[in-house]
Structure 1
Amino acid sequence: MITATPPRVRRTGQAVTAYGLLWVFLLLNLAIVELMLANPKTPAHNTLTSIGRILGLHLAFVMALQLLLIARLPFLDRRLGMDRLTAWHRWTGFTIFWLVLLHPTFVMLGYSQFDKIPFLSEIPNLAKQMPVLLGMIAAVLVGIIAVTSVRAARRRFSYEAWHTIHLLVYIVVVLGVIHQVYEGSAFKTNNFTQAYWWGLWTFAIGALLTGRLFLPLARNLRHRLRVAAVIAESDDVVSVHITGRNLHKLHARAGQFFLWRFPGHNRWWQVNPWSLSAAPDGHSLRLTAKAIGRTSAGLRELPVGTRVFAEGPYGAFTAAARTRQDTLLIAGGIGVTPIRALFEDETLAGDIVVLYRVRTPADAVLLGELRNLARLRNARLHLLTGRTTEGNQPFSPDNLLALVPDITERDVYVCGPAPMTNEVLRSLRTLRVPARQRHAELFRLAA
Structure 2
Amino acid sequence: MLITAGYAITARTNVFVQAWDFVWDYPGMLLATAGTALLILVVATSIRRARRRLRYESWHLLHLYGYLGVGLAIPHMLWTGADFTASAGATFYWWALWAVTAACVLWFRVAVPLLRSARHGLRVVAVAPDGRDGISVRVAGRDVHRLRARAGQFFIWRFLDGPGWTRGHPFSLAADPAGDELVISARRIGDGTDRLAELRPGTRVMVEGPYGHMTGERRSGSRLLMLGAGAGVAPLVALLESEPYAPGEAILVTRDHSAAHGLRRAEIDRLAMSRGLVHYTLHGRRADAGTTWVPASHAEWDGARLLQRIAGDLSLYDVYLCGPLPWMQSIRRDLRTAGVPAERIHSEAFAV
TM over 0.5: yes
Which residue of the partner structure matches residue 135 of structure 1?
32
Q: Find the residue that maps to 1:323 and give its secondary structure.
A: coil
Aligned to 2:191: 294
Instruction: Please point out which of 3, 17, 21 is paired with 1:121.
Output: 17
Q: Please tell me whether residue 106 in structure 1 is matched to residue 13 in structure 2.
A: no
TM-score normalised by length of structure 2: 0.89
1:352 paired residue among 232, 243, 250: 250
CA distance in 1 between counterparts of 2:261 and 2:156 reads 25
Structure 1 residue 285, shift from structure 2 partner: 0.8
Deviation larger for 363-372 or 107-116: 107-116
Give the CA deviation at 1:269.
3.4
Backbone CA RMSD of aligned residues: 2.3
1:264 is displaced (CA, Å) by 3.1
Superposition map of 1:157-172 within 5 A: 157-172=54-69
TM-score by length of 1: 0.71
Whether 1:374 and 2:272 are equivalent positions in the alignment is: yes
Residue among 187, 206, 230 paired with 1:309? 206
Rounded to whole Å, the distance in 2 between the matches of 1:315 and 1:393 is: 34
Distance (whole Å) between structure 2 residues aligned to residue 394 and residue 258 of structure 1? 37
Displacement after TM superposition at 1:355 (Å): 1.0
Query: Deviation of residue 207 (structure 1)?
Result: 3.7
Q: Is the 8 A contact 2:124 2:140 kept in 1?
A: yes
Separation of aligned partners in 2, 1:339 and 1:147: 33
Q: Which range moves more in the overlay, 395-404 or 383-392? A: 383-392
> 1 CA distance for matches of 2:215 and 2:172?
11
The structure that is strand-richer by fraction is: 2
Q: Which runs of 5+ in 2 are unaligned?
A: 286-294
2:169 to 262, 268, 272: 272
SS, match of residue 108 in structure 1: helix
The one-letter code of the counterpart of 1:371 is D
> CA separation in 1, counterparts of 2:280 and 2:231?
16
**Amino acid of the structure 2 residue aligned with 1:164:** L
The SS at the match of 1:282 is: coil
**1:356 aligns to what SS in structure 2?**
strand
Q: 1:442 is matched with which residue?
A: 349
Match of 2:140 among 243, 253, 268: 243
Larger relative helix fraction: 1
* Shift of residue 194, structure 1, vs aligned partner: 5.5
SS of equivalent residue, structure 2 residue 28 = helix
Cα deviation 1:354-392 (Å, max 9, x = unaligned)? 111223221222222102112222221112223322634
Q: 1:277-327: per-residue Cα shift (whole Å, max 9, x none)?
A: 111133111111111110101111112111111111111111111122211
Using the alignment, how far apart are the partners of 2:301 and 2:233 within structure 1?
A: 16
2:239 pairs with 342, 346, 352, which one?
Answer: 342
CA contact (8 A) 1:265 1:302 kept: no
CA change 1:349–1:395 in 2 (3 A) is: farther
CA distance 1:254–1:416, shift in 2 (3 Å): same
SS, match of residue 166 in structure 1: helix
CA 1:123–1:413: 2 relative to 1, 3 Å: same
**What does 1:206-221 align with in structure 2 at a 5 Å threshold?**
206-221=103-118
Matches of 1:237 and 1:304 in 2, distance apart? 18
On the 8 A contact 2:246/2:275 being kept in 1, the answer is: no
Distance of 1:434 and 1:186 partners within structure 2: 50
1:197 Cα offset (Å): 4.7
Instruction: Find the aligned partners of 2:302 and 2:84 in 1 and give their Cα distance.
Output: 54
Q: 1:188 to 1:403 in 2, by over 3 A?
A: farther
Work out which of the residue numbers 396, 407, 425 in structure 1 matches 2:303. 396
Asked if structure 2 preserves the Cα contact closer than 8 Å seen for 1:226 and 1:307, the reply is: yes
In the alignment, the residues of structure 1 paired with residue 10 and residue 48 of structure 2 have an alpha-carbon distance, to the nearest angstrom, of 40
1:184 to 70, 78, 81: 81
CA–CA separation in structure 1 for the residues paired with 2:105 and 2:301: 42
The aligned residue for residue 62 of structure 1 is none
Structure 1 segments unaligned to the other structure (5+ residues): 1-104
Q: Which residue of 2 aligns with 1:53?
A: none
8 Å Cα contact 2:131-2:265 kept in structure 1: no
Match of 1:238, SS?
Answer: strand
